[in-house]
Amino acid sequence: MYNQLQRLNSVVTFALTVAFVLMGVVSFTSLYQPLDASANVKVKGIRLRQGSSFPDYYNENAAKSEYVHLAMDIDADLTKLFHWNTKQVFLMLVAEYETPKMATNQLVLWDTIVQSPEDAQFKLRKYRNKYHFNHFSRKFDTQSANLTFYWDITPHIGLLQRQRQGKIPMKVTLPPLSYK
Amino acid sequence: MEILQTIKNYSIRQMLLQSLNFLLVLSTAFMFWKGLGLYQNTESPIVVVLSGSMEPAFYKGDILFLSNPKTPIEIGEITVFKIEGKEIPIVHRVIRVHNDESSGKQYLLTKGDNNEIHDRGLYKRGQMWIEQKDVVGRVKG
């Protein structure tokens, strides 16, 4: 009545259906996982200088631009963000400020990829910013900026989840320009 | 060869019916694709990752679902953008956002998680920023 091909066909179809239903269940349930993590930053040193201490490629105005150089203490614990559907957590430290011309300015100063809960705790001391902290134009048009942590959970399957640190962001006052 | 024989035995009417069925399957798939694109406001609602520059978030061959709402792009979002004059879209994360209030323009800088430096080397010569019009889609999952 049934030949081997038909049997194989029904087995494969059933397996695929089960796999897709399972994928749906996993991606749906991971949306309702409790997410809570802590991240803190303390600014230990800040300097505003003309020109960067590390090369700013493709920026023709680099020598004439103002750059903020930071030394930061970063403490973070992202262990609780890891559940069965977490592939990685992307942690970003973002500087945010306003200027009269530009309504919002957001710059990633430091980021890291965390792939396992064992590596999810950070205690960095006097850490320098990894990316350049300079304005869209050459000079900063503002006196202060906020530092905020953002993280982005990449799942194995399902929707990306973005979150920002709920605590009050840290205020940084830009010092006057100093020369070398 | 049996199949060829059965096809030969078909009348013209049957042949036409078969090909119509086949076309229907094709056009359904195409309509589904375009409909999804219209709903998500992007020209390609589903993309496949081509390079390893976003590892370990996305590996080559991973499938991404995009949407492209009008709202401003936020920092840390993963966008798919096309550089003028280049055919291949790029999937990278936004690491800098400058919103110009007077013109409503957004100036963005992107970087692949797995790359050492940002993407200005991939942009057009002398291009410092990409704008919202360059962005094809924003990765949702």
| Catalytic positions of B | 53, 92, 119
- Domain edges within chain B: 2-40, 46-139
Domain at B46-139, CATH from 3.40.50.300, 2.102.10.10, 2.10.109.10, 1.20.120.160: 2.10.109.10
Closest-approach residue (CA) in chain A for B66: A159
**Interface list for A 25-84 with B (CB within 8 A):** 27, 57-59
Mean pLDDT of B74-83: 86
- The two beta strands, A177-178 and A38-50, are parallel
pLDDT in tens, A54-110: 777 777 777 788 888 888 888 888 888 888 888 888 888 888 888 888 888 888 888
Chain B residues with CB under 8 Å of A141 CB are: none
Closest CA–CA distance from residue A157 to any residue of chain B (Å): 7
User: Is residue B25 scored above 90 in pLDDT?
Assistant: yes
Question: Which of these, A75, A173, A88, lies nearest to A125 by C-alpha position?
Answer: A75
What letter would DSSP give residue A139? S
Instruction: Measure CA A107 to chain center.
Output: 11
B110, B94 Cβ separation under 8 angstroms: yes
User: CB-hemisphere CA count at 13 Å for A7?
Assistant: 4
Q: What integer pLDDT is reported at residue B26 of this predicted model?
A: 95
> What per-residue confidence (pLDDT) applies to A119?
83
pTM, 2 dp: 0.78
Say whether residue A154 is in contact with chain B using an 8 A CB cutoff. Answer: yes
Q: Which tokens is B56 given?
A: 């370990």
Per-residue confidence (pLDDT) for residue A158, from 0 to 100: 77
Specify the pLDDT at position A166: 47
Residue A13 has a pLDDT of 94
Strand partners, B111: B93
Express each pLDDT in A168-180 by its tens digit.
466 677 777 766 4
- Comparing CB atoms, the residue among B76, B78, B141 nearest residue A92 is B76
- The stretches of B11-75 forming alpha helices (DSSP H) are 12-40
Predicted complex ipTM: 0.76
